[in-house]
Structure 1
């Protein structure tokens, strides 16, 4: 089986947002790095996926200079980098063609946000027939405001709102939704056999 590691949206755009200080997983970057090092050592493909929103002027607009892999991580020259404009890594990129040409049949997913781009990519990959592993402690997310909360809440208002969905609950719901349906849910230690 040929495997590719998909590192999704671990980019400076997120770190520039005030919400970054609420990141649920302080081990995200070291855990992603462990997966990257293991994939390279095994000869697996490493694919860095970045999210861009051109022309918006926000932190995901490439013109702001923040749409690049987070500073502590670095793509190698043999790694593949794709830039997406949708929630999943397939719809607006050449990722599927790249994986097919490389003979990849299994993907391991990690990155930001657990329930958004990482989960969505895992679901689409499963639908495309890949064997999917979701490495839960190599993902990260943030508390989610209630859908009726006013737009533009500050971080303090978000955290004070009793309707806010805690990041731990977001992760648990994602694990329940994916496990046994779309992906094998594993920890970094379990995945690496440590």
Structure 2
């Protein structure tokens, strides 16, 4: 085992937000499950990462009960679940020692949000010497408001604002930013086409 799948923040916190209605892929958990099956079949380690902000009083505050894997995800007993408080999955966790202990040198990354925690984890992983595959269509994100948009704007206002960056454009920009610099970009179809057959 030299490879691990890192599942970033596919958690109920996001579904508890009004912004969930704008998510680029509401079926992200289904894609993640497909990727998890491929990884397990190859003998890869699967690591689940959750974002938490203790004391924040919002959907990322563990006290409110939303900081848990989406209910349809197919985690099996023994697969590590790591809680982070930073954008990347390394800085505030024991992820690197965990990977080192398993002899992991290659990572496959998926999750929420494409350009935020998934991309940031990928960049840090590359700097730490890991070879990273970023599964672009096994990530999801939301439209991004303009920097001058009011912090309390509604979902309708976000979508109506011509300055809002659509989620498809966010994903496209992440793909361009990572490819050839920090990661190899792959799709679910590409990985499934080369996956080991189910025994």
Q: CA deviation at 1:39?
A: 1.1
TM-score, length basis structure 1: 0.98
For 1:6, the equivalent position in structure 2 comes to 6
Moved over 2 A (4+): none
22-31 vs 100-109, which moves further: 22-31
Give the Cα separation in 2 of the matches to 1:161 and 1:178: 28
Please give the root-mean-square deviation of Cα atoms over the aligned residues, in Å.
Answer: 1.0
Give the Cα separation in 1 of the matches to 2:34 and 2:124: 25
Secondary structure of 1:37's aligned partner: helix
CA displacement, residues 50-109 of structure 1 (integer Å, 9 cap, x when unaligned): 000000110000000000000110321121110000000000000000000000000000
For 1:62, the equivalent position in structure 2 comes to 62
Q: CA deviation at 1:117?
A: 0.1
For 1:185, the equivalent position in structure 2 comes to 185
For 1:82, the equivalent position in structure 2 comes to 82
For 1:37, the equivalent position in structure 2 comes to 37
Say whether 1:152 aligns with 2:155. Answer: no
For 1:108, the equivalent position in structure 2 comes to 108
Give the Cα separation in 1 of the matches to 2:59 and 2:27: 23
75-84 vs 106-115, which moves further: 75-84
Asked if the contact 1:27/1:138 (under 8 Å) is kept, the reply is: no
CA displacement, residues 160-185 of structure 1 (integer Å, 9 cap, x when unaligned): 00000000110000000000000000
For 1:136, the equivalent position in structure 2 comes to 136
TM-score, length basis structure 2: 0.95
For 2:20, the equivalent position in structure 1 comes to 20
